[in-house]
Structure 1
Amino acid sequence: MRAAVPEFPEARLQELADRYAAAVAAKRRRIWLGSAVLIAAALAAGWMGDVDLRKFAENFWRFPAYFAGTAPKFSFSSAWVDLSEWLWGLPRWTRLLGDTLLIAYMGTLAGGVLGFVLCFLASANLVKSRAIVFVTRRALEFCRTVPEIVFALIFVLAFGLGPLPGVLAIAIHTTGALGKQFAEVVENIDNKPIEGVAASGGSWIQIVRFGAVPQVLSNFVSYALLRFEINVRGAAVMGFVGAGGIGQDLIEAVRKFYYTDVSAILLLIVVTVMLIDFVTERVRHRLLGLEGSST
């Protein structure tokens, strides 16, 4: 037996159509208003920043021209000699690149540990004291808001040139970034294991250890690996202010117009970052896949 299709009166249908049209019109007005605000903000930022589009268009050719000028000159008859001259500093650059990787690794490790500790104090579902949550979140905001290179400059003045300022700068920034991401993961976990540990008389540390950590560990490792990729790039820039790594030789080559050295160092950095991105991406996907299969 076919179910009867309800029929609304004409007045009711017109009322529903009017409501739908009003809702669509309201949404369209919000979109237009948001677009107008965005355009106005962009124009204001350009005016305050003295952006000159004509000057930008006239001088844009300098950007690709610079990179074209850094390209080494090769000829078929002397290709090996040209390659040797281009990569003349490969042993030194490789050692400095190793320093950059170690700076990124130690900074990520230290920042990850601190972010792991602080994220639970910043999670409203684990800490009942709003004051502790508020203070911890503001501390994490401070750590990730100040640029790494600013921290590096401060630590270079305090401890002198070398890898230590770079490690400390990356560690502080990583603490803020990972602490926020970890806290968001913790706040989205299933509360039943937490309630079970609490109901059995477990302490707060036991609640975190047995109720929260098993649910978030794979995501924590995934975020930490992603942060390591970012920190490798950041560690290369730390050398610009004397915080160790290959960035010191890169900025020196740029300042002294050693064009072929610039391209060689950039190539080493790009290849290294690509390899790290590839490996850590595979590891992250495997971790997340294992987590999905277990549920």
Structure 2
Amino acid sequence: MPERITPLSPDRAAALAGAYDGAAAATRRRAWLGLAVLVVLTALAARAAEVRPWLLAANLGKFTAYIAQILPPLTLGHLRGDLAEWYWGWPKWLALLGETLLMAYLGTLLGAVGGFLLCFSAAANVTQGRTVRFLVRRGLEFGRTVPEIVFALIFVIAFGLGPMVGVLAIAIHSTGALGKLFSEVVENIDMKPVESLTAAGAGRIEILRFAVLPQVLSNFVSYGLLRFEINVRGAGVMGFVGAGGIGQELLVAIRNFYYADVSAILVLVMLTVMAIDLGTERLRHRLLGGLR
């Protein structure tokens, strides 16, 4: 027999409707207040940073003119010859681009290992020692706060020119960034397996291996691949401070006003980054599907 629903009395219904309208009005006031604060802060930040949209609009033509200036003339009748002349230095550029990719790969690998080793000590749910957690978190903050190019400048002074400088700079910055991301993933795991192994008398290594790692491994892989994409872009400008790679050749072309070489190197770098983005995206999806 279906249960009969007793309707509310008019007074009770009016009271509930009034409470709902009051709560909705309070929510709208908070939303408008938050929007007003956001607008004010944006205006203050734009003023402090001297953002002038009218100046940008007035000089936008200079930017497009520069883009048109660095692009070489390409004609359909002589397209092959024009491309050969445009990419006259492709063997050297490809070698330097390969050096950039290896720099990004090795720096990401070292950074991922460092972030993996430190992330568990930075996670509050699997590390009880506050002092250790505080020190590790501050170390990770230092690693990701200082830009890679600043680390590269310091290492150039210490170790001289070369790709090793770029690898070390990328590795330190990646350790700080990935350690932070990894620790946040660890802090969001289901603690029931951890509590079960702890009650069974398992040690820290066993708990991390059998209770924590299976839950976070897929996200670790995803973040590591994403960081590699970012580091490829970062390694591209390491040559500006003498850390090797394609960035050094790009800086030479810019300083000497070799406009065609600037556009050729930029297009080469963009195509490489696009290919890496597509490749790592597919690899990340396959790994995530296989690990879950």
TM interval, shorter chain, is over 0.9
Flag structure 1 segments of 5+ consecutive residues without an equivalent.
none
Give the superposition deviation at 1:289: 1.6
TM-score normalised by L of structure 2 = 0.94
Which residue is 2:72 aligned to? 72
Which residue is 1:261 aligned to? 261
CA distance in 1, matches of 2:20, 2:252: 64
Correspondence 1:122 to 2:122: yes
Which residue is 2:144 aligned to? 144
Moved more, 219-228 or 48-57: 48-57
Give the superposition deviation at 1:120: 0.6
Write the deviation string for residues 234-254 of structure 1: whole angstroms up to 9, x where unpaired.
110211222111011112222
CA distance in 2, matches of 1:53, 1:219: 40
CA distance in 2, matches of 1:248, 1:79: 28
CA distance in 2, matches of 1:76, 1:217: 51
CA distance in 1, matches of 2:177, 2:143: 8
Give the superposition deviation at 1:170: 0.7
Moved more, 186-195 or 164-173: 186-195
Conserved 8 A contact 2:166-2:235: yes
Which residue is 2:113 aligned to? 113
CA distance in 2, matches of 1:234, 1:156: 16
Aligned positions of 1:1-295 closer than 5 A: 1-292=1-292
Moved more, 191-200 or 8-17: 191-200
CA distance in 1, matches of 2:103, 2:126: 33
Residues 1:3 and 1:194: Cα distance change in structure 2 (over 3 Å): closer
CA distance in 2, matches of 1:4, 1:218: 50
> Equivalent residue of 1:50, what SS?
coil
CA distance in 2, matches of 1:254, 1:20: 64
CA distance in 2, matches of 1:101, 1:267: 16
> Equivalent residue of 1:60, what SS?
helix
Conserved 8 A contact 2:217-2:291: no
Letter in 1 for 2:42: A
> Equivalent residue of 2:237, what SS?
helix
Letter in 2 for 1:45: A
Q: How many residues align?
A: 292
CA distance in 2, matches of 1:77, 1:8: 84
Write the deviation string for residues 145-168 of structure 1: whole angstroms up to 9, x where unpaired.
221122112212222221122111
Give the superposition deviation at 1:125: 1.5
Conserved 8 A contact 2:140-2:175: yes
Give the superposition deviation at 1:2: 4.5
Write the deviation string for residues 48-88 of structure 1: whole angstroms up to 9, x where unpaired.
22222221110012222222222121223332221111001
> Equivalent residue of 2:185, what SS?
helix
CA distance in 2, matches of 1:151, 1:129: 30
Letter in 1 for 2:212: A
CA distance in 2, matches of 1:254, 1:51: 26
CA distance in 2, matches of 1:53, 1:271: 31
> Equivalent residue of 1:168, what SS?
helix
CA distance in 2, matches of 1:187, 1:47: 39
Give the superposition deviation at 1:118: 0.2
Write the deviation string for residues 164-201 of structure 1: whole angstroms up to 9, x where unpaired.
22111111111011111111121222223323333333
Moved more, 119-128 or 283-292: 283-292
